[in-house]
Structure 1
Amino acid sequence: MDVRPEPFEPPAPIPRSVPPSRLEIIRTVFRNPLELWGEPSYTLPWIMTRFFGEKTLIVNDPDLIKYLLVDNAQNYKMAVVRQLVLRPILRDGLLTAEGAVWRRSRKAVAPIFTPRHAKGFASQMLAQSELYAKKYEGSDGTVFDIGNDMTELAFAVLSETLFSGEIVTRSESFADDVEDLLHSMGRVDPMDLLRAPSWVPRVTRIGGLKVLKKFRGIVRDTMDLRLRCMKDSDTAPNDFLTLLLRAAGPEGLTMEEVEDNILTFIGAGHETTARALAWTLYCVANSPHVRDAMEEEIDRVLESGADPVDWLDRMPWTRAAFEEAMRLYPPAPSINREAIADDAWISPKGERVEIPKDVTILVMPWTLHRHALLWQKPRAYMPERFLPENREAIHRFQYLPFGAGPRICIGATFAMQEAIIALGVLMRRFRFDMTEETRPWPVQRLTTQPANGLALRVTARRPASSIS
């Protein structure tokens, strides 16, 4: 007899039952776009609607998503509003570049993120996770902001693996700087909704220009330091930073494109993993049977002396817990495209969807991952969905934490490996529990962030000497 309690339903906006007014749309999109969507977005396979006078197709049908992002991807460019939000920050970084610029950047960075190469980072990920775990040593119920902590940990991993620890930061408050940058710059301004040209000032982002300038300064200093090393010796690390700088030249990347890609990875590349890790620890803290399964699995694998490169395959519960957290709190909650030419799609049931030129396409992992047609108990945290024996029931295009198609996240393997290693180290030594102050609320910026922080109580499970 199964006596487990009902699965935990973490906080999320309730679908709207009444369409918002035009003014309410502006206010909600600026405050938190996750609160905008109504019941049809969570119950219908697709919806053709109008958004500020623009035709908009909201898509939750996995087969139609595959058509848009893979089968006929060449007919869909980045949506204007998305670019108006992100290009001021990232310019021609990998997330925002298009056409020939994107192809050059993708070709330049791809070698470092092949699955085989990414696995080579496992020992560094382990070392950085163990080093960061020292922060919690001696904890006997101390409360930490896990959202902030996971940002610091993910940055430490990124710095060591991709930049050999040579990011020239100018303060100890990097997590706060990232928060400031994304809070002020990574949100939709009313002028974006009106599709005002990029030269029209965005009043809501004025406060973020200072921190953006700071980040650009960090990137330039980091580039200068490595260029001097490459010029003066043959011992420069053969890492992501060196790879990008070597890709600069008449037939490769411009130095501006190199800068944009470095900023993309420093400012945003670690952010998705950090948020997903924090949400995982929060959901697990509310799911005792999941935590018990993870702790048993982690203890067994680590006691066996397994190489960290193998943890991802040997920890199905830990992986499932992380993947389910990304389902409920997708790191990138929306994928925006715009049709270049008229198109149409016919469903397996013979239904025809007209896709006119210039229509905005919204594929939103936030609604897709919570859709009533696709998931049992869609609002509940149920990692069992992602255990090996259950995975085949999940359509490849109903779960998109890393996107899909030509622009799928290039660091997916890197991020998954990093997350499982971090969870293994942290949950082997510590237990994370709720407090009265733990009241996170999901807010969409560049990623799905926990507003109000993510306070968890940390208690030691076993001393560091018993880890190995």
Structure 2
Amino acid sequence: MDATVQPFVPPAPAPRTSPPGWLEVIRIIYRNPIELWGEPSYTKPWISAAFFNERMVLANDPDFIRHILVDNARNYKMARVRQLVLRPILRDGLLTAEGEVWKRSRKAVAPVFTPRHAQGFADIMLQRSQQFCDRFDGDGSVHEIAHAMTDLTYEILSATLFSDQISTPEGDFGYRVERLLETMGRVDPLDLLKAPEWIPRLTRLRGRKVLAFFRQIVSDTMHARMELMQRDPDNAPQDFLTLLLQQHKPDGLTLGEIEDNIITFIGAGHETTARALGWTLYCLAKAPHERDLVEAEVDRVVAEEPNPVHWLEKMPYTRAAFEEAMRLYPPAPSINRAAIEEDRFRDAVIEPGTTVLVMPWILHRHRMLWDHPDAFMPSRFLPENRDSIGRFQYLPFGVGPRICIGATFALQEAVIALGVLMSRYRFDCTPKTNPWPVQKLTVQPEGGLPMRVTLRSAKPEIAA
């Protein structure tokens, strides 16, 4: 970066300088958990604390993180509060299942997400991104980009994994996803107080209708495909949906587990990429110098390289901007585990039942690990600089046995989408573009991302 250009520092909660009272803790965790953390969280290799008599360790040291999530992963299960939030939505989907159920699901879906298989989706990703761009008139009108990216990634997911045979939802899909996360994707105060699970959580009662909407989509989609597989098996698409349904056998997946995995990929599989795309466009709009570099790269590659499979490799600055946005606004800001047996790391003692937090939100902004940690600086992710970033200090997709299975898919999708969007349009902020990061499973831009979309004068054509 030009030394005369000051990097953009995007909005984020300042570390607390004094601990909140317990009533304030409940309010913060319900409203926005990333506002809870104090200055030591961003400067110490680990800290120990207690919330409502619940022992907690926050791990920031990369070696400590490796110990928890890789070397001794068998000693850690999903934390109770995390499961209370996610299981009502995803049940036994890949993100929430444990033990043998998780192993069966992981084995069932793994073939679809190998790097080679993911590359086979590149042309569809390109086509859907181009078609989506046609919805913008490019006259400088303002669009809600957070919702737009949700719709785009949903349509890419529908085309690539479900052959466009997901039962079409009525109404604004992006709004419904936001509503689901607003109502179902938060920690309820009763969870913190360890109330019995049979006591209704009022926050989640409000989300039952929208959850039922998504469940109905999945049920209709499954039954339509099963009917096609029985009636005309030769013409049934050989996609993710068919692959899952073929696993319905005594030693495979139950229909309930198949439904849970479909809702996981429809709900969580595209939402994380959508959020990261929105934050990327926002950060680039607020950092014109960086945007110029991305636009120049995009123009060159789009004009010269017709095969989108190669875009991920040939657009290193575009990828770096996306990865830097995921550093600052990690789609999954929290990884929660609970110790099964006593464990030790150096002088840290982790007693059975202790909740161990690995917080990408904090880890990615930790003063011990990053230069200018709060600044948007894509150059740190360029190939020549990547060796300085440790494997366990940057975790947008997690790490270890439960690493996100769709990481390659998501990176390829993001670079192709950015290549198409930014080759055709320029995205600018408006006076009303004042997002505030809020944790609701993913890191959401509270206030949305209203952005002005203008047709670029030097619009490159896709190479023939």
TM-score by length of 2: 0.98
Deviation, 1:355, is 1.3
Q: Which runs of structure 2 are paired with 1:211-226 in the superposition (5 Å)?
A: 211-226=210-225
> Is this contact kept in 1: 2:303–2:460, CA < 8 A?
no
1:116 corresponds in structure 2 to 116
C-alpha separation in 1, matches of 2:441 and 2:14: 21
Within 5 A, what are the aligned runs for 1:52-451?
Answer: 52-136=52-136, 138-233=137-232, 234-346=234-346, 352-451=347-446
Instruction: Give 1:204 deviation, angstroms.
Output: 1.2
Report if the CA contact (8 A) 1:4-1:289 is conserved.
no
Q: Secondary structure at the residue paired with 2:235?
A: coil
- In structure 2, what is the Cα distance between the partners aligned to 1:446 and 1:315? 29
Query: In the TM superposition, what is the alpha-carbon distance from 1:141 to its structure 2 partner?
Result: 1.3
CA–CA separation in structure 1 for the residues paired with 2:205 and 2:285:
38
Task: Name the CA shift for 1:294/1:465 in 2 (closer, same or farther; >3 Å).
Answer: closer
* SS in structure 1 of the partner of residue 384 of structure 2: coil
Structure 1 position 6, deviation (Å): 1.1
Alignment partners' CA distance in 1, 2:310 and 2:98? 36
Mapped partners of 1:402, 1:332: distance in 2: 8
Contact 1:126 1:421 in 2 (8 A): yes
CA distance in 2, matches of 1:164, 1:104: 24
CA deviation string 1:236-289 (max 9, x = no partner): 001010000000111100000001001111111100000000000000001111
Secondary structure at the residue paired with 1:270?
A: helix
Q: Are the aligned partners of 1:85 and 1:185 in contact in 2 as well (CA < 8 Å)?
A: yes
Q: In structure 2, what is the equivalent of residue 349 of structure 1?
A: none
Q: Is the 8 A contact 2:302 2:461 kept in 1?
A: no
More deviation, 333-342/456-465: 456-465
Q: CA deviation at 1:466?
A: 3.0
Code of the aligned partner of 1:160: A
How many equivalent residue pairs?
A: 462
SS in 2 for 1:135: coil
Q: Distance in 2 between matches of 1:250 and 1:300?
A: 53
Separation in structure 1 between the aligned mates of residue 84 and residue 419 of structure 2, nearest angstrom: 39
2:426–2:455 CA contact under 8 A, matched in 1: yes
Distance 1:175 1:31 in 2: 21
Match of 1:31 in 2: 31
**C-alpha displacement of 1:194:** 1.7
Distance 2:33 2:141 in 1: 33
The alignment-based identity, stated in percent, is: 63
Given that residues 90 and 96 in structure 2 are in contact (C-alpha distance below 8 angstroms), is that contact kept between their aligned partners in structure 1? yes
RMSD of aligned Cα (Å): 1.2
In structure 1, what is the Cα distance between the partners aligned to 2:110 and 2:14? Answer: 40
In structure 1, C-alpha distance between the alignment counterparts of 2:332 and 2:2, rounded to whole Å: 35
Q: Distance in 2 between matches of 1:139 and 1:415?
A: 26
Q: Which shows bigger deviation, 282-291 or 189-198?
A: 189-198
Shift of 1:307: 1.2
Residue 345 of structure 1, CA deviation:
1.5
Tell me if structure 1 keeps the 8 A contact 2:302–2:460: no
Instruction: State how far apart, in whole Å, the 2-side matches of 1:412 and 1:2 are.
Output: 31
8 Å CA contact 2:16–2:36 kept in 1: the answer is yes
CA distance in 2 between partners of 1:139 and 1:6 (Å): 29
Give the deviation of 1:139 after TM superposition. Answer: 1.6
Q: Contact (CA 8 Å) 1:108, 1:247: kept in 2 or not?
A: yes
Cα contact 1:371–1:378 (8 A) shared by 2: yes
Measure, in 1, the Cα distance between the counterparts of 2:309 and 2:225.
28
What is the deviation of 1:33? 0.5
Q: Which runs of 5+ in 2 are unaligned?
A: none
C-alpha deviation, 1:162, in angstroms = 0.3
Which of structure 1's runs of 4+ aligned residues deviate more than 4 A?
462-465
Query: In the TM superposition, what whole-angstrom CA distance separates every residue of 1:439-460 from its partner, at most 9, and x where no partner exists?
Result: 0000000100000110111110
User: Contact 1:80–1:195 (CA<8 Å) still a contact in 2?
Assistant: no
Paired with 1:92 and 1:102, the residues of 2 have a C-alpha distance of 8
DSSP-derived class of the 1:390 partner = helix
TM-score by length of 1: 0.97
Using the alignment, how far apart are the partners of 1:123 and 1:176 within structure 2?
28
Q: Say which SS state the counterpart of residue 186 (structure 2) adopts.
A: coil
